[in-house]
Structure 1
Amino acid sequence: MNFYAIRAIYLFELARTWRTLMQSIATPVISTSLYFVVFGSAIGSSMVQIHGIDYAAFIVPGLVMLALLTESISNAAFGIYMPKYSGTIYEVLSAPISSFEIVVGYVGAAATKSVILGLIIMLTARLFVTFEIEHPLWMLLFLVLTAVTFSLFGFIVGIWADGWEKLQIVPALIVTPLTFLGGSFYSISMLPPVWQKITLFNPVVYLISAFRWCFYGVSDVNVAVSLGMTLLFLGGCLAIVFWMFKTGYRLKS
């Protein structure tokens, strides 16, 4: 294992966070704060409790997940796309470092940034609403697991994209809508029976449900099922990344 190479890629990607502090940290935190003001304070004051939880507190896990998924994909996608765009990816591929070590460096940095952002957003949420975390260790586990999984997904998007506009297609047109429809602002038990079943085809439902369980001990989907679905998606992303490096898909051409 070439730890020196992994460390070099990892630290280089982390350093980009501080060079783009406004975009990487401040923008998502400010955006999430606006959600708390609008949905938590303004709308939440007239909403009934959901599963015995105040509405403003109920939406905290969903908003954290919304930022986590979006930033994980964006950070990882940009991290690998930029070397492709500049041509420096060929130097990385020709260096004495395996594809596994390359993925660990890029995905590890993207996931680290996303986890830090998620923790900052949770601290910010405390300024607007009081909430408790019943299962803090499980919360950290799901936070890290989700960040790694969607950073891998973003890594795939970055390799697939052959233009700057494609980097935004998946987060903007697919992930964000799925997050909004995945129970970020409501419990899927509030939906008609038919729509409850349809919603279960949305993978984000399992992430938000498990994360909300970590906070309040309530969930729309069994936690074990949510964990299994997350691990399944993680395994699928790993398989696709392995195939991309093995075939050189949009990496060597």
Structure 2
Amino acid sequence: MNFYGIRAIYRFEMARTFRTLLESVAAPVLTTSLYFIVFGKAIGGRMGDIDSIGYGAYIIPGLVMLSLLNESISNASFGIYMPKWAGTIYELLSAPVSWIEVLIGYVGAAATKSVMLGLLILATARFFVPYQIAHPAWMIGFLLLTAVTFSLFGFIIGLWADNFQKLQVIPMLIVTPLTFLGGAFYSISMLPPIWQKISLFNPVVYLISAFRWSFYGVADVDVVMSITMTFGFLIVCLTFVWWVFKSGYKIRR
């Protein structure tokens, strides 16, 4: 294992984040704070509890997950797309690093940034809504698993995209709508029976449900099923990345 190569990629990606703190950190935190103000205070004060949890506190896991998914995908996809766009991807491919080492460097940095942002949003939420974390170890575990999985998914998007517009297509048209429809702002048990069944085909439902369980001990779907689904998606993404580097699809011309 070439740890020097991994560290070089990781440090380069982390340095890029600290050069763009306004876009990488301040903007997502400010956006999420507005959600807390509008939904947690203005609207939440007019709504009843959900599963004996105040509405403002109930939506915290969903808001963290919304930011986590978007930032994980964005960080990883942009990180690997830039070498392709600049033409330096060939230097990376010719360097004495394997595909798994490249993956660890880029995905590790993207996941680190996403977890840092998620924890910062949780700290910011304290200024707006009181909440408790029933299972802090599980919360950190779900945070890490989700960040790694969707950073890996973002890495795939970065490999697939051949222009800047394509970097935004899947996050904007697929991931964000699925997050809003995945129980970020409500419990799927509040939906009519037919829509509850349809919601189970939304993979984000399992992520938000498991993450909310780590806070309050309540979940819309079985926690074991949520973990299984997430690991299954992780394995699919790993297999695809291995095939891309083996075949040279989208990275060799």
Runs of at least 4 residues off by over 3 Å: none
Q: Map of 1:212-227 to 2, 5 A cutoff?
A: 212-227=212-227
Structure 2 residue aligned with 1:2: 2
Q: CA deviation at 1:129?
A: 0.3
SS state at 1:165 partner: helix
Partners of 1:171 and 1:31 in 2: CA distance: 17
Query: Which segments of 5 or more consecutive residues in structure 1 lack a partner in the other structure?
Result: none
2:110 maps to a residue whose letter is A
Partners of 1:6 and 1:18 in 2: CA distance: 19
Render the CA deviation track for 1:132-163: whole Å, top value 9, x for unaligned.
Answer: 00000000000000000000000000000000
Q: CA deviation at 1:172?
A: 0.8
Partners of 2:79 and 2:225 in 1: CA distance: 31
Partners of 2:51 and 2:60 in 1: CA distance: 14
Structure 2 residue aligned with 1:12: 12
For these two proteins, the number of residue pairs brought into alignment is 253
Partners of 1:221 and 1:236 in 2: CA distance: 22
Structure 2 residue aligned with 1:31: 31
RMSD: 0.4
Structure 2 residue aligned with 1:209: 209
Structure 1 residue aligned with 2:250: 250
SS state at 1:97 partner: coil
1:2 maps to a residue whose letter is N
Q: CA deviation at 1:78?
A: 0.1
Identity among equivalent pairs (%): 69
Structure 2 residue aligned with 1:99: 99
1:74 maps to a residue whose letter is S
Render the CA deviation track for 1:75-94: whole Å, top value 9, x for unaligned.
Answer: 00000000000011100000
Partners of 1:179 and 1:186 in 2: CA distance: 11
Q: Map of 1:36-185 to 2, 5 A cutoff?
A: 36-185=36-185
Partners of 1:235 and 1:197 in 2: CA distance: 25
Q: CA deviation at 1:234?
A: 0.4
Partners of 1:163 and 1:83 in 2: CA distance: 12
SS state at 2:240 partner: helix
Render the CA deviation track for 1:81-137: whole Å, top value 9, x for unaligned.
Answer: 000000111000000110110000000000000000000000000000000000000
Partners of 1:122 and 1:59 in 2: CA distance: 12
Query: Which segments of 5 or more consecutive residues in structure 2 lack a partner in the other structure?
Result: none
1:49 maps to a residue whose letter is D
1:209 maps to a residue whose letter is S
Partners of 1:130 and 1:35 in 2: CA distance: 15
Partners of 2:194 and 2:204 in 1: CA distance: 18
Render the CA deviation track for 1:18-58: whole Å, top value 9, x for unaligned.
Answer: 11101100000000000000011000000010000000000
Structure 1 residue aligned with 2:189: 189
1:41 maps to a residue whose letter is K
Partners of 2:221 and 2:170 in 1: CA distance: 25
Partners of 2:170 and 2:19 in 1: CA distance: 25
Q: CA deviation at 1:175?
A: 0.5
